[in-house]
């Protein structure tokens, strides 16, 4: 009788658990898998770029802070931090037990060395522009000052002081990004140029490490295990992480099924699969972090000095003769009309930038605008508007939109214009090289503040998509950076308005990035603006049928 009662009690408890919380048990300690879809070229935080590299580095390394689900900083390798009254100097105190995966202590000197490496011209980093807020960073990057001049100092083994060029209240959150990661000098020098390329040449301080030398199968997968030396605020929930580096080769239509049957636990989600993912009941996270629009090449030296798009009157004419309503009939799937350059998700001092700065900066439609372009052409001794080719993504809706543009321009300027659809990677490469005149381009900054997007167009910016060099625009940004507070907000608003009135970038639509998890998967933190994925708290609850 006692055995029967025990059995009934056990069944009652089991059924009760099935009925609550989704019907399962804590999946802590399991392997969580993620479809990276490609292999990064390197896992060297100071030079790595691309989403795949950022995701892996965030698992293997830890910056001074980590970012939570709201993109707010909390203690990482630093247990605490403080700022001076002007927010131009930040002091970080490292955790006493912060350690590398080989057991060596993480020191303030490791962070100093990592940041100096990122900005050293010999390193050739393409991701270090976010560090230009540090004192002397730009001059170091340009080779005008030695790396020792950088405004970072190790006061002692646990105290790091970072001095900035201008007030930046939100600076701590920036230190979660990859170029700010620490680097142990002795280990780096002993890799003889192979740092970050093989399991034996990766030394991280994050919650996970590469399991062993056989756990990175190039072109296929890499497996990480929870690091026994990690001593953050909480232990990693997963026992291991499995990343697929293109090995799955899933057709787009097969991704939903792979998530449903736990072939993968999380993955980037194409916008075309959003409805299918939601119908399948999969958790989806989205970020409206990209503004797509008409980008002009404004460099006077382009085409040997004959670039008509170097003239604002010509660019304005190309924008103002467009029928915006006709263009927006061809919005790509899961996109929204963009009324401004800076996205609605952007924040300033913890509040919505758009609500504070307002909008309505678009150039008005005007059939008479073509006359202004004609006057410029006459002054240049040009009788007929030269033919212009528009680069655009090889997407059906976008190509229809560009056809509308071409028809408007053909009518307004009495000439025929061309379209060149390209795969996204090739389009980005052409724009980065400055090999274009006009392009439908996706503008995605590396952070959610107006400064991060607007600084892309600053003179000397290595990521400047328009090849722009404009002292008036630079002055607005410099004043904003030097002043801070509400005065800076007004200057950022003026800088955004300047890009509109000068027709450097004409916003068309906002795009979102989507990520999906499998059934029962929780605790995966996705970051916007190519900020990576955090698996520290990831769990899988086994759903009972």
Evaluate if residue 94 carries a pLDDT over 60: yes
Give the per-residue pLDDT at 22. Answer: 29
* Model pTM score: 0.86
The whole-number average pLDDT for the span 418-438 is: 95
164: DSSP letter: B
> Between 1.20.1250.20, 3.30.70.20, 3.40.640.10, 3.10.105.10, what CATH number should domain 288-512 receive?
3.10.105.10
pLDDT band at 5 (very low <50, low <70, confident <90, very high): very low
Residue 540 C-beta-side C-alpha neighbours within 13 Å: 24
Q: Are 31-250+518-540 and 288-512 equal in CATH topology?
A: no
The whole-number average pLDDT for the span 173-178 is: 95
Evaluate if residue 288 carries a pLDDT over 50: yes
Evaluate if residue 11 carries a pLDDT over 80: no
Would strands 389-393 and 418-422 be described as parallel, antiparallel, or unpaired?
Answer: parallel
Evaluate if residue 21 carries a pLDDT over 50: no
Q: Is residue 468 exposed (0-12), middle (13-18) or buried (19+ Cβ within 10 Å)? A: buried
Coil, helix or strand for 365? coil
How many Å separate Cα 454 from the centre of its chain? Answer: 14
Helix (H) or strand (E) run with residue 160 in it: strand 159-163
Reply yes or no on domain 31-250+518-540 having CATH 3.40.190.10: yes
Coil, helix or strand for 240? strand
pLDDT tens figures, 229-269? 999 988 999 999 999 997 777 766 689 999 999 999 999 99
Give the per-residue pLDDT at 252. Answer: 63
pLDDT tens figures, 345-402? 899 988 899 999 999 899 999 988 899 899 999 999 998 899 999 999 999 999 999 9
Please name the residue that has the structure tokens 């976008």. 398
Distant-in-sequence, close-in-space partners of 485: CB < 8 Å, separation ≥ 6: 167, 349
pLDDT averaged over the chain? 90
Give the C-alpha separation, 146 to 53, whole Å.
28
Give the per-residue pLDDT at 9. Answer: 38
Q: What percent of the chain has pLDDT over 70?
A: 93
The whole-number average pLDDT for the span 501-512 is: 96
Q: Packing angle between helix 369-379 and helix 312-320, nearest 10 degrees?
A: 150
pLDDT band at 131 (very low <50, low <70, confident <90, very high): very high
Domain boundaries, the chain: 31-250+518-540, 288-512
Task: Kindly give the residue spans of alpha helices, DSSP state H, lying in 270-323.
Answer: 274-279, 312-320
Range from 26-40, 204-218, 279-293 carrying the lowest mean pLDDT = 26-40
Q: Is residue 53 exposed (0-12), middle (13-18) or buried (19+ Cβ within 10 Å)? A: buried
The whole-number average pLDDT for the span 433-452 is: 93
Bridge partner residues of 507 (DSSP)? 293
How many Å separate Cα 198 from the centre of its chain? Answer: 25
Give the C-alpha separation, 316 to 319, whole Å.
5
């Amino acid at each position: 009788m006692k055995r029967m009662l025990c059995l009934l009690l056990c069944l009652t408890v089991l059924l009760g658990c099935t009925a609550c919380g989704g019907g399962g048990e804590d999946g802590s300690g399991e392997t969580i898998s993620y479809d990276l879809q490609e292999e990064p070229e390197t896992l060297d935080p100071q030079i790595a770029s691309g989403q795949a590299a950022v995701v892996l580095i965030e698992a293997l390394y830890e910056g001074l802070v980590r970012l939570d689900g709201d993109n707010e900083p909390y203690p990482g390798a630093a247990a605490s931090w403080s700022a001076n009254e002007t927010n131009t100097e930040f002091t970080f105190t490292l955790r006493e037990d912060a350690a590398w995966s080989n057991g060596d202590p993480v020191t303030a000197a490791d962070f100093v060395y990592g940041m100096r490496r990122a900005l050293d011209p010999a390193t050739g980093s393409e991701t270090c522009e976010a560090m230009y807020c540090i004192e002397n960073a730009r001059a170091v990057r340009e080779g005008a000052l030695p790396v020792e001049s950088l405004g970072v100092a190790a006061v002692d083994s646990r105290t790091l002081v970072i001095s900035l060029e201008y007030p930046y209240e939100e600076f701590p959150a920036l230190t979660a990004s990859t170029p700010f990661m620490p680097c142990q000098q002795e280990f780096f020098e002993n890799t003889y140029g192979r740092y970050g390329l093989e399991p034996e040449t990766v030394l991280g301080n994050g919650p996970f490490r590469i399991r062993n030398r056989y756990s990175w199968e190039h072109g296929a997968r890499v497996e990480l295990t929870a690091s026994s030396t990690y001593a953050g605020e909480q232990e990693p929930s997963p026992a291991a992480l499995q990343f697929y580096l293109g090995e799955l080769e899933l057709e787009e239509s097969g991704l939903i099924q792979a998530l449903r049957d736990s072939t993968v636990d999380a993955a980037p989600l194409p916008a075309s699969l959003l409805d299918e993912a939601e119908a399948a009941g999969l958790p989806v996270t989205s970020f409206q972090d990209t503004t797509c629009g008409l980008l002009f090449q404004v460099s006077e030296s382009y085409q040997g000095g004959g670039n008509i798009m170097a003239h604002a009157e010509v660019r304005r004419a190309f924008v103002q003769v467009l029928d915006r309503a006709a263009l927006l009939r061809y919005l790509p799937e899961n996109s929204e009309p963009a009324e401004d350059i800076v996205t609605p998700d952007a924040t300033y001092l913890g509040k919505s930038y758009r609500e504070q700065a307002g909008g309505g900066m678009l150039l008005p439609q005007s059939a008479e605008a073509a006359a202004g372009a004609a006057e410029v052409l006459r002054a240049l001794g040009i009788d007929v508007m030269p033919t212009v080719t528009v680069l655009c993504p090889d997407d059906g809706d976008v190509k229809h939109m560009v056809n509308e543009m071409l028809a408007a321009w053909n009518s307004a300027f009495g000439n025929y214009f061309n379209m060149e659809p390209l795969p996204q990677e090739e389009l980005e490469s052409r724009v980065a090289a400055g090999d274009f005149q006009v392009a439908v381009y996706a503008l995605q900054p590396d952070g959610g503040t107006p400064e991060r997007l607007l600084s892309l167009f600053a003179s000397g910016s290595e990521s400047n998509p328009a090849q722009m060099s404009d002292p008036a625009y630079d002055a607005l940004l410099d004043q904003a950076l030097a002043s801070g507070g509400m005065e800076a907000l007004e200057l950022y608003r003026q800088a955004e308005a300047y890009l509109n009135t000068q027709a450097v970038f004409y916003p068309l639509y906002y795009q979102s990035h989507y990520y999906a998890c499998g059934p029962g998967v929780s605790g995966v933190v996705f970051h916007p603006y190519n900020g990576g994925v955090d698996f520290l708290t990831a769990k899988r609850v086994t759903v009972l049928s």
